[in-house]
Structure 1
C-alpha cells in the first residue's frame, strides 16, 4: 500500500502493524491482506507488476464484499448498505479482524491440507515439481522476453512474491503444457488459457482504495447473487476438477473461475519457495473419453466463461476487448462510457464493466462525495500460450462520470465521433503508404515496410491529442499529424526517380481527401 501523505501516523501504526517498512505517511509498504483492508481508507494499492495488480484488486474486491456485507441479493437492501458504507468511509476494523481470524487457517500458502488458493493434491497427482521460477511469469522461459527478468529459474521465490504469482496464474496463466496431472482416471498435461489472458482489465481509480473497492462491488441488479457465492477458502471441500463451479454472484466470478492449479513447496529453514507444480485445474474436454462426461464438462466450462468478469469490456461477439500495446487508450474509452440503460432498444456492440454501470446510476450527492473517478487500464500484450510481450498500465486523464452516455449523451457522442475520426485518419494514412509502396514495388504481393512503425507512431502521438480534444471539445488536428508521419516515413524515397510521383500522388489523398458528394435532389 502507498499511504496518503495526510494519513494519521498513529492510525497507520495501529491498523497496519505488520507493514514493512513500517506504515508511515507518503511511504509504500508491503502489507498483509487483513491489514490492507483495515487501513484501506488511508492509501492506495501500489503494486509493481500489472498482472499482480489486476489479480490482487479482484481478490481484495471479493474480500471487501464478504467483510462489508455487500453480498446482498435484494437491490434495495444493497443500496442501503452501500450508502451506509460510503457515509462511513472505511471498513470496521472489528469486522475485518473477525473475518480474517475466522479464516486465518486458509490464508497460508504452506498449509498442508488447504494451502491458500492452491491444490495440495498436485503433489501426489503430478510428477516431479518444476523450478520455482516457473511460478514467476516475468522470468525468462519459453518465449518470454529475457529482459523482463534475468533471474535464473532455480533461484528461490520469496513468500510474498509467491503469493502474488499464485494469484496471477489463476487469472493470467497460459495455455500449453504443464505438469502431467492424473486425477480420477484422467491424465494429461494440457492447460487452457486463464480468463484474463490477453485482455484489458478496467478498474476505478479515485485516489482512495476504500472508494475504489466500494465502486468495485457490483450491484445485484447487474450481477445477481443466485446462491451462497462463497470464495474457495470458505468452502468445505476442494474444487472438483470434473465439475467446474458455476458462478453464483460477484465473489465466485472474481476468484473461483481459475483454470490452472498451482502448489508451491518451501524450504523449512528459509521459508523461500524452492519448487512449484503448475497443472490443469479442470481438464480440457478432449482429455475426457466418456461422451456424457465430456459433454457435461463442455457445458459447464462454457457457462463459467459466459458468466464473465465484472472488470472487462465485453463484446457481444468475440469475447472481451483484447490488449494491444500499440492501441491508444482513448479508442477504448468510447466503449467504456457507452451504457445501455433499461428500456434502451439500441444494439450495443460492447458492454462496459459493472462498476461503470454502477457509476452511471449514482446520485449526484454520492458522486460529489467520492470525487473524480478515473479508469485504470491493466493489461498484457500476450498470446494465449506462454508468451508475454509487454505489460502496460494507464489511467484515463479525464473522469469517467463526466462522459457516460447515460448522464452526458452529448459528451459521449463527442468521444465516439473523435474516436471514429482518429480511426478513419489511421486507415487513410495506412492506405496512402500502401498505395505509394505498391506503385514503387516490383512485387505487388510485398508487404509495405512503412506501415507498421508509422501507424504505431500515429497512435502514440494521437493519444494525447485525442484526450485534449475530448476534454476541450476541440479538433485534434489528426490530418496534419498523418501528413507529418507520412512524410517522415517516405522521406528517403520521395526524391528518387522511382518514388517521386507515386509518393506525391499518394500524399495528395491525405492533404486533399475526397468527400462523399451529397445526393442530388430532383
Structure 2
C-alpha cells in the first residue's frame, strides 16, 4: 500500500499571481509588443510594465491608497531613491524619469530576493500577517470572512452593498482578501478585537490604523510609472536603508509587547505603522480565504505624524492632526492647500510633503484624493475618491502668482457657501420660531444647490487663468440658491419677512461694530475685488 501523498500547502504569491486590476494606456510605446497587457496583474508585471499602465483600476479607494504606499516603497528600493545619496536625489530621480521605465534587472532582483515574503499563505512569514496568531488567539472565536471584508456588514453594522448570511459565508477570493488585508492595516478601527495572549499580556483592544478617517492626496501622471516616481518622498540625509525596513524585509517578527520599531525613513513610515495584526486562513487550493484572525499588533501606539500624503492641520489646542475625509467636501476646496507652501486658514494647514517635489517629474500631474469617511471606531460612512485635471504645474514653486490667486478663488467660493448656509438657517429659524440657528432642510438644500455650481465656476476661472469677477459669480450662485430655497415661504407674511431679514447674511450680515469686524473668521476674504 503506497503512502498517502503529502498535501501541498496553499500558495497565493502577490508577486506573480494576478490580483491588481489595471487599465492600459491608450497609446503606449510597448517594449513588449507581443505581450498584451492583462486586465489583472501581480506585482512583478505591474512594476515591469508600469510605463504601459495608465492607472490601477481598484474600485476600493482605501485599498488603492494603501497599495500606493506599498508601491512607493518598492519603487524607492528598486530605483535606489530610498536614500538621499549618492549625488543629488532630484537629479537621480530625473535620470529615472528619462529612462522611461523601471530597470527590469533591478525589479527582478528585488522581488526574487523577497519572493517568499509576498506569499499570502506562507507558513512562517505570510505577507503582512503574523502566523503566531494561530496560537495566541482563540481558535473558536475568530473574526470570520465577513469581518475581514470591510464592505460587508458584521455584528450590528449596516449593510453597504448587499446583505449576507453569516451562517453560510460567501468566501472571498485570495485577491479580494489581499485588498481588504491592506485596508485593515491602514484604516482599521479602534476598540474591541479578538483576545490575544502574549506571555503575561492578554488584551482585546486595539488602536486605530494610521489612516483611519483620513483623506490622502496622490500625484498621478500619464502612466503608472510617472505616478510612482512623482509619489516618492525625498528621504532625509540621515536615512539608511538597513534601518528603514519594510515589514517583509525583517528577518524576524517583532515583539508585540515591546515598543514598535522606530520608523527610520520613508519606507518604514509608509509600510510599518499598522496597529492591527491579521492572519488569513486559506482554502486548500489557495484561491479563497475561509477565515481570519484580527487583533492588536502592539500595545504601544505608533505616532501618526510623518505621512507625506496627508494635509496636516493644527487644532485650537495646538495638536496636529490630518485633514479628515468628508464625502460631502469637493476636492477643489483643498486645492490651495496642495499648491501653496503656506496655505491660508485658521487651522494652519500644511500641504502634503510629497507635493514639494512631485511637479519635477512631469508638467501634467493631476491630484487623486483617496480616503474613507469613518469615525474612530466601528462606523464606516463612505468611500472618497476624487481627481483634479492636471494642476500641479500651478504649484507655488512653478507659478507663484497663479497659485495665490487659486487660493483666493477657493476662499471666495467657501465664503459665499458659508454665507448662504448661515442665511438659510437664519431664515428657517425666523420662519419656524426656532430658539437658535441649527441644521435644517433648507441648509441641506442650499448645499446641494450651491457647491456643484461653485465647483464648476471655480474650474472655469482656473482653466481660463482669469480671476477677475469671481466674487460676483459666486455671489450670484448663492443668491440664486437662496431665492429658490426660500420661494415657498414667500406666500405668508411671516415667511416673506424671515426671508427678507436673513438675506443680508449673503452680503456679510448686519453692519458690524469695529470690535466685531476685527473678529471676522480667519482664512476667508472680507472684501471682494
Distance 1:423 1:399 in 2: 20
Distance 1:408 1:215 in 2: 18
1:64 CA drift (Å): 0.8
Equivalent pair of 2:310/2:323 in contact (CA under 8 Å): yes
Distance 2:513 2:286 in 1: 76
TM-score, structure 2 normalization: 0.84
1:249 CA drift (Å): 0.7
1:350 CA drift (Å): 2.3
1:30 CA drift (Å): 1.1
SS of 2:219's equivalent?
Answer: strand
Equivalent pair of 2:208/2:376 in contact (CA under 8 Å): yes
Does 2:54 match 1:41?
no
Do the aligned partners of residues 491 and 75 (structure 1) sit closer, same or farther apart at CA in structure 2, a change above 3 Å counting?
A: farther
Query: How large is the RMSD of aligned CA atoms in angstroms?
Result: 2.7
Specify the alignment match of 1:309 in structure 2: 307
1:420 CA drift (Å): 1.5
Equivalent pair of 2:339/2:392 in contact (CA under 8 Å): yes
SS of 1:147's equivalent?
Answer: coil
Do the aligned partners of residues 77 and 479 (structure 1) sit closer, same or farther apart at CA in structure 2, a change above 3 Å counting?
A: closer
1:264 CA drift (Å): 0.4
Does 2:106 match 1:111?
no
Distance 2:184 2:69 in 1: 13
Equivalent pair of 2:174/2:286 in contact (CA under 8 Å): no
Does 2:332 match 1:333?
no
**Greater mean alpha carbon deviation, residues 74-83 or residues 169-178:** 74-83
Do the aligned partners of residues 340 and 151 (structure 1) sit closer, same or farther apart at CA in structure 2, a change above 3 Å counting?
A: same
Specify the alignment match of 2:16 in structure 1: none
Equivalent pair of 1:75/1:219 in contact (CA under 8 Å): no
Question: Aligned runs of 1:3-18 on 2, under 5 Å?
Answer: 3-7=24-28, 11=32
Specify the alignment match of 2:79 in structure 1: 68
Specify the alignment match of 2:493 in structure 1: 497
SS of 2:463's equivalent?
Answer: helix
Question: Aligned runs of 1:113-262 on 2, under 5 Å?
Answer: 113-127=124-138, 128-142=141-155, 144-153=157-166, 154-221=169-236, 224-225=239-240, 228-241=243-256, 242-262=258-278
**Greater mean alpha carbon deviation, residues 216-225 or residues 28-37:** 216-225
2:106 to 92, 95, 100: 95
Distance 1:47 1:9 in 2: 23
Equivalent pair of 1:376/1:394 in contact (CA under 8 Å): yes
Distance 2:514 2:264 in 1: 54
SS of 2:245's equivalent?
Answer: coil
Do the aligned partners of residues 347 and 226 (structure 1) sit closer, same or farther apart at CA in structure 2, a change above 3 Å counting?
A: farther
The CA deviation string for residues 78-100 of structure 1, in whole angstroms up to 9 with x for no partner, is 23421221111111112111111
Distance 1:371 1:219 in 2: 19
Do the aligned partners of residues 184 and 409 (structure 1) sit closer, same or farther apart at CA in structure 2, a change above 3 Å counting?
A: same
Distance 2:500 2:380 in 1: 40
SS of 1:499's equivalent?
Answer: helix
Do the aligned partners of residues 420 and 231 (structure 1) sit closer, same or farther apart at CA in structure 2, a change above 3 Å counting?
A: same
1:150 CA drift (Å): 3.5
SS of 1:203's equivalent?
Answer: strand
Does 2:294 match 1:281?
no
Equivalent pair of 2:422/2:505 in contact (CA under 8 Å): no
Do the aligned partners of residues 446 and 375 (structure 1) sit closer, same or farther apart at CA in structure 2, a change above 3 Å counting?
A: closer
Equivalent pair of 1:51/1:168 in contact (CA under 8 Å): yes
Equivalent pair of 2:427/2:502 in contact (CA under 8 Å): yes
TM-score, structure 1 normalization: 0.85
**Greater mean alpha carbon deviation, residues 419-428 or residues 466-475:** 466-475
Structure with a larger share of its residues in helix: 1
1:492 CA drift (Å): 2.3
1:225 CA drift (Å): 4.7
Equivalent pair of 1:74/1:220 in contact (CA under 8 Å): no
1:70 CA drift (Å): 1.1
Do the aligned partners of residues 270 and 71 (structure 1) sit closer, same or farther apart at CA in structure 2, a change above 3 Å counting?
A: closer
